Structure 1
Amino acid sequence: MKKFKIRQMRLITLIGCTVFGFASCKQTPNAAMQSSSYETMTVGTTDKEFSTSYSATIRGRQDIDIYPQVSGTIVSLCVTEGEVVRRGQLLFVIDQVPYRAALKTAEANVETARASLATAQLNYDSQRELYTQKVVSEFSLKTAENNFLTAKAQLAQAEAQEVNARNNLSYTEVKSPSDGVVGALPYRVGALVSSAMAQPLTTVSDNSTMYVYFSMTENQLLSLTRQYGSMDEALKNMPEVTLTLNDNSVYAEKGKIESISGVIDRQTGTVIARAVFPNESRLLHSGASGSVSIPSVYKDCIVIPQGAAVQMQDKYLVYKVVDGKAASTLVSVAPINNGREFVVMDGLKPGEEIVAKGAGLLREGMQIK
């Protein structure tokens, strides 16, 4: 009898514990829901600027490889690496002796051709006079005329050879084709050079202003075109850009995007853009690298934290607080952001209250504390 009572008491205790446990489990979600809270914000308008960076290469406005136009030995080197030169300044002198001799020969050939032409002229005039007096035949006249025309052509040929010889002599003095800075000088005095060389004598880089080239993706190009209405308007109205050098320092001068290629590369899916930067300090060098930052300015726009939005394909979901409950709404945002905030283009109005953080945990109609 005692054993039965003990078992009965244990069963009652077990049932009581089980009921108490179910009650506790049932109350836990309600308690958790009551204690949850979310950070909210009231939407307003402000001005915002985002920057997009692109890897870039720096080139001189004009990088000209200097090749000799005649063959010969370098007898004089007139510049040093890094020297600033002007257009027409002498850079190299190639051995002129054979070219001076060739010019003298050409000049002598011209004089000989002139004398031959004068003789042919006299003979032709004489034969023509005799033909009118019917002293000589027409054949003799025609022969004299042909000799005269041949002598005339030989003079023209000799004069052309003289011009060519004079040009070759002038080519022995290699001059700078533009203002700029001299690059490396791989050939020194005594080196044999020719126009068929694979490597240039040097490179003259016009770096008074510098071209900075960078690539934009097709989507970035479309976004830019939509933002300004057309590519021409974009080039006119885009703000000045900044250049960050390879050591992470920011170049003091601002640049301007001058052109964007109208053809998308099929292999990379990008277009080439070119910005122009002044280089009075000559801090920028052709061949260097860096990155270009393009600012995107939005006036009187709505800015929200990225934690306030949940991405749904090409749209974003934001939860408004309406009568203390979460009400979802779709918004469109600007394609450019800083990784922390979105600029809302459509879907929200100033004065509306939204959940500013943890939107991914919300559900429609949830109580917002």
Structure 2
Amino acid sequence: MKNFSIVSIFALLILASCGKKEEQQMPPQGPVPFPVQTVTKQDAVVYQEYTANLEGQQNVEIRAKVNGFIQKIYVDEGQVVKKGQLLFKLETQTQNQDAAAAQANVKAAQVEVDRLKPLVDRKIISEVQLETAKAKLAQAKSAYGSIAANIGFGTIVSPVNGVIGSLPFREGSLVSSASEMPLTTVSDTKIIRAYFSMNEKQLLFFNKTFKGATTAEKLKAAPEVLLLLVDGSEYDQKGKIATMNGLVNPQTGTTQFRAEFKNPEGILRSGSSGIVRLPIIEKDAILVPQNAVFEMQGKKMIYVVGQGNKVKSKIIEVSGTSELNFIVTSGLNEGEVVVIEGASKLKDDAEIIPQQAKTEAVPAVAQDTAKTNITPAKK
């Protein structure tokens, strides 16, 4: 027991001496450097976003004007065609027979007119008989012309430049002018039209933001719009709002707009969808990096550097986000200094060493979450 006590005391002395050495080796705790930024006001571009349906400048349904079997299909789905290009050939053999009979009737009526003319001139018969024969000739010519036109309708060509849609019928199918489904659709996609709607609140904001006594003047004052594709990428051609419906739909409470985008490479297709982004310039906005903001109990907060380089948390309100910045609507004033990184390592009244970070001179780009119901990114 005695030996055990001596060993225990010796071990405790060794541990105590090691602890003292570690204390001597640890550097004294003090303020740590943190990047900070002085709050300034600057112009920001705020984007309002609207879901849009895309359509070609012209979507022309190709329909049969006469009854007949499809003899030949000269195009395929997705093929680019020119105006006047042959698309379908319908079987017209029966109509050719009808045309021959009608043409024979025309010749017979003409012979009758020619026979009666000299008799009328010599007053052998009355002029009424000749006029009756002439009427029958005109009727025969009209019947022949109608049949000949129907034969022409058996050859179907494209009325516009565009892209062929689906082909629901195959060669040999019987089609008619009463068919519910068209033979195909030719979509002219050189210009793509994006149709989107604004609710009454958004429409009021639009009318107040862009000045003009008429709708045309307001649309002219509106800036070019962008288009987000279904994969999240931004289309490389900017568009312009071309039309605005003059009335609000009483059932939906919305007004339809149409923006137009050039489509030189055929990237956009009729029937697809996208998001139209309308830029709005917000003057003298307070912007802070998203990294500077943290959340606590559903509130957005930021650390502000005060006297003695001690930080204090403040609740802020934002109206939107960009890839890098929040637009702050309340809680911060111009000239205040905020910590822009490392907020999770801080607490109130902690002393730091402020290090001014470089700020971008280019205005931030943000999304108008208040008007488009887009939730700001959480940090």
Which of residues 242, 265, 286 is equivalent to 2:249? 265
Amino acid at match of 2:175: V
Residue 48 of structure 1 deviates from its aligned partner by 1.5
Amino acid at match of 1:254: K
Distance 2:127 2:39 in 1: 100
Q: TM-score if structure 2 supplies the norm length?
A: 0.65
The number of residue pairs the alignment matches comes to 272
Distance 1:303 1:276 in 2: 33
Structure 2 counterpart of 1:275: 259
Which of residues 134, 148, 160 is equivalent to 1:166? 148
Instruction: Say if 2:285 and 2:327, in contact at 8 Å, map to a contact too.
Output: no
1:127-166 aligned within 5 A = 127=123, 144-166=126-148
Amino acid at match of 2:193: Y
SS in 1 for 2:159: coil
Distance 1:232 1:43 in 2: 40
Residue 260 of structure 1 deviates from its aligned partner by 0.8
Structure 2 counterpart of 1:124: 120
2:186 matches 1:200: no
Residue 119 of structure 1 deviates from its aligned partner by 2.0
User: Given the superposition, is the C-alpha separation of residues 243 and 302 from structure 1 closer, same or farther in structure 2, using an over 3 Å criterion?
Assistant: closer
Structure 1 counterpart of 2:71: 75
Structure 1 counterpart of 2:237: 253
1:225-264 aligned within 5 A = 225-230=207-212, 231-264=215-248
Distance 1:118 1:342 in 2: 95
Structure 2 counterpart of 1:49: 45
Which of residues 182, 189, 201 is equivalent to 1:219? 201
SS in 2 for 1:207: strand
1:323-338 aligned within 5 A = 338=321
Structure 2 gap segments, 5+ residues each: 1-36, 289-318, 339-379
1:15-26 aligned within 5 A = none
Structure 2 counterpart of 1:365: none
Structure 1 counterpart of 2:54: 58
Q: How big is the alpha-carbon RMSD for the aligned residues of Structure 1 and Structure 2?
A: 3.1
Distance 1:161 1:120 in 2: 22
Identity %: 38
Structure 1 gap segments, 5+ residues each: 1-40, 131-139, 306-335, 345-350, 357-369
Distance 1:60 1:51 in 2: 25
Which of residues 140, 143, 168 is equivalent to 1:186? 168
Amino acid at match of 2:191: T
SS in 2 for 1:56: strand
Amino acid at match of 1:287: G
Measured against aligned partners, the alpha-carbon deviations of 1:137-195 in whole angstroms (never above 9, x if no partner) come to xxx6xxx2211111111111111112111110110111111110111111111111111
Residue 343 of structure 1 deviates from its aligned partner by 7.0
Q: TM-score if structure 1 supplies the norm length?
A: 0.67
User: Given the superposition, is the C-alpha separation of residues 343 and 48 from structure 1 closer, same or farther in structure 2, using an over 3 Å criterion?
Assistant: farther
**Rg bigger for which structure?**
1
User: Given the superposition, is the C-alpha separation of residues 252 and 222 from structure 1 closer, same or farther in structure 2, using an over 3 Å criterion?
Assistant: same
SS in 2 for 1:102: helix
Structure 2 counterpart of 1:98: 94
Measured against aligned partners, the alpha-carbon deviations of 1:86-130 in whole angstroms (never above 9, x if no partner) come to 111111111121122222222222111111112232222221xx6
